[in-house]
């Protein structure tokens, strides 16, 4: 698989339908939501967490933040904190820092998805760059990634 196209190549290999969108540069998931003309609740944000020293992908709506206490309890770990970009940037050589798609299964990283994201038929997320996104069926995403689905997000303060 070629760098920068890992997510697209994976979906094509698995014969999963998706839409690839190119948009204005968006450095945050909320900016991606704005670029895609969607509410933040419909766009997935991939947040890297260190849980007892191991990486976990926490996937939450753009309009929320990870509730580390809830995630820690659900994972059954004694420590959970946000990972720094410096800590995880080398894990995703095919992606811009902070634009990695939520396919932790491709990197042997467990994925936890906020339950509210699974209520919609579709899921939208970064596709490796700050200018590319993927829209696909949430059902297909869950089938491919096999995430743990829990409620562990809280609304961001305004």
Q: List the pLDDT tens digit at each of the 158 positions of the chain.
A: 334 578 899 999 999 999 999 999 999 999 999 999 998 888 999 999 999 999 999 999 999 999 999 999 999 999 999 999 999 999 998 899 999 999 999 999 999 999 999 999 999 999 999 999 999 999 999 999 999 999 999 987 66
Is 1 within the bounds of a domain? no
Burial 62-92 (b: 16+ CB within 10 A, else e): bbbbbbbebbbebbebeebeebeeeebbebb
Is 139 within the bounds of a domain? yes
Is 19 within the bounds of a domain? yes
Question: In total, how many domains does the chain have?
Answer: 1
Which residue range is the domain that position 81 belongs to? Answer: 6-155
Q: What pairs with residue 46 in β-bridges? A: 59
Is 122 within the bounds of a domain? yes
Is 133 within the bounds of a domain? yes
The rounded distance, in Å, linking the Cα atoms of 147 and 113 is 6
- Match 């995430």 to its residue by tokens: 147
Domain holding 150: CATH number? Answer: 3.90.960.10
Pairing of strands 111-114, 44-51: unpaired
């Amino acid at each position: 698989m070629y760098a920068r196209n890992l997510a697209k190549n994976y979906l094509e290999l698995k014969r999963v339908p998706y839409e690839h969108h190119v948009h204005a540069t968006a450095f945050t998931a909320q900016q991606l939501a704005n670029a895609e003309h969607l509410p933040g609740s419909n766009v997935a944000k991939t947040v890297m967490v260190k849980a007892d020293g191991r990486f976990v992908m926490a996937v939450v709506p753009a309009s929320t933040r990870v509730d580390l206490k809830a995630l820690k309890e659900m994972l059954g770990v004694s420590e959970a904190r946000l990972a720094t970009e410096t800590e995880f940037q080398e894990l995703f050589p095919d992606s811009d820092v902070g634009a990695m798609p939520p396919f932790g299964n491709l990197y042997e990283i467990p994925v936890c998805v906020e339950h509210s994201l699974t209520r919609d038929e579709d899921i939208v997320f970064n596709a490796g760059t700050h200018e590319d996104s993927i829209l696909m069926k949430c059902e297909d995403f869950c089938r491919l990634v096999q995430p743990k689905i829990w409620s562990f997000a809280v609304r961001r303060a305004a």
